[in-house]
Amino acid sequence: MAELKSAAVNGIEMTYVDFAGTGRPVVALHGSFGRGTIFSRLARDLIGCARVIAPDQRGHGHSSHTDSYTNDDFVADIAGLVRHVDLGPVVVLGHSRGGITAYQLAARHPELVTALVIEDVGPLMRTPEIEHPVLDVRGWPSMAATKGELTEAIRARGVPDPGYFMHSAVPTTDGRWRLLFDWDEMMAVQAGGVGDWWTDWLGSTCPALVLRGEHSTLLPELLASDMVARRPASRLVQFSGAGHWIHDDDPDGMARAVADFLGELDNDPRTNR
């Protein structure tokens, strides 16, 4: 049964969901605007082969808000969490901004990471390679009388399906609905992910699975192919019809791909526990 927990790491209070399970430990990192509970479906699908632990990263969900959202901050936070849960080296799965943190963690703390699953993000997050690496959300609405009104207010900003953002919507004591994150802080979170991170991607040697949606806006197909071609022990799985949020667009397919990858790790003497 999933359990909400917290840990003091790297000077912040981090909330995380321990989805239990009996298999290999997997730390799952959401992207900008997300929270750990976005992986609830994946955790259920993997319960026979993985124990998924999904934190709310700093500035997200119920974890601490801070004045700093650098790559070093996010990496140090997750390194602290992995040490806190004390399950040995873990598989780190990261979506979008969380994927950058995942492969940077593997490069800087290889003793903590046994394998990587990178969901729809690459080692280049900048123009011109990526047309819009940052979504300008300054001044977007953060509260409304009802959840439906908040959803429609975000939709009016040009987001056809605000469901991902609404994972972070919660009721207030006076009956209104608000978002757990701050839009201005999310600008800083996104800005920290902009750059050329090839050195980090190539800086680890553990097995890696790269997942790409056919209609991705953040991981061009040629870049995804280059990622796995340049880094040993890496392979690519593409998802027909999916966009950037593969875990929502093709949950069954993503669960199969991750489960197959975890099974391969069990048969790999480098990662067999």
Condensed to tens digits (0 to 9), the pLDDT of residues 92-135 reads 999 999 999 999 999 999 999 999 999 999 999 999 999 999 99
pLDDT confidence band for 229 (50 / 70 / 90): very high
pLDDT at 257: 98
Kindly give, in sequence order, each residue whose CB lies less than 8 Å from that of residue 249, ignoring residues fewer than 6 positions away. Answer: 213, 239, 241, 242, 243
Residue whose C-alpha is closest to residue 250's, from 208, 212, 218, 221: 212
| Mean pLDDT, rounded, of the chain | 96
Show me where the domains of the chain are located: 3-135+182-266, 143-181
Reduce the DSSP state of residue 158 to 3 states and report it.
Answer: coil
Tell me the percentage of the chain whose pLDDT exceeds 90: 95
CA 80 to chain centre: 17
| Range in 3-7, 19-23, 202-206 with the lowest mean pLDDT | 19-23
Q: Are strands 169-171 and 177-179 parallel, antiparallel or unpaired?
A: antiparallel
The CATH code for residues 3-135+182-266 is 3.40.50.1820
How sure is the predictor about 267, in pLDDT bands with cuts at 50, 70 and 90? confident
pTM of the model: 0.96
Within 13 Å, how many C-alpha atoms sit on residue 272's CB side? 5
Helices (H), the chain: 40-45, 71-85, 97-108, 147-155, 163-166, 183-192, 198-201, 221-230, 246-249, 251-266
State the number of CA atoms in the 13 A half-sphere of 66 facing the CB: 18
- Mean pLDDT across 179-194: 97
* Residue 30: closest CA among 184, 215, 244: 244
Confidence category of residue 272, pLDDT binned at 50, 70, 90: low
Q: Name the residue type at position 183.
A: W
What average pLDDT does range 220-229 have in this prediction?
98
The confidence score (pLDDT) of residue 59 equals 98
Residue 52: pLDDT over 80: yes
pLDDT tens across 28-40, in order? Answer: 999 999 999 999 9
Q: Is pLDDT above 90 for 2?
A: no
* pLDDT band (50, 70, 90) for residue 1: confident
Q: At what angle do helices 97-108 and 71-85 cross, to 10 degrees?
A: 70
Give the mean pLDDT of 56-85. Answer: 98
User: What contacts 235, CB < 8 A, 6 or more positions away?
Assistant: 208, 209, 210, 228
Q: Is the pLDDT of residue 273 over 60?
A: no
Identify the pLDDT of residue 90. Answer: 98
Q: What is residue 271's predicted lDDT score, i.e. its pLDDT?
A: 72
Identify the sign of the CA torsion 173, 176, 181, 182: negative
Instruction: Sort strands 90-95 and 24-29 into parallel, antiparallel or unpaired.
Output: parallel
Task: Give one DSSP letter per residue of 219-254, joined into a string.
Answer: S-HHHHHHHHHHSTTEEEEEETT--S-HHHHSHHHH
* CA gyration radius, the chain: 18
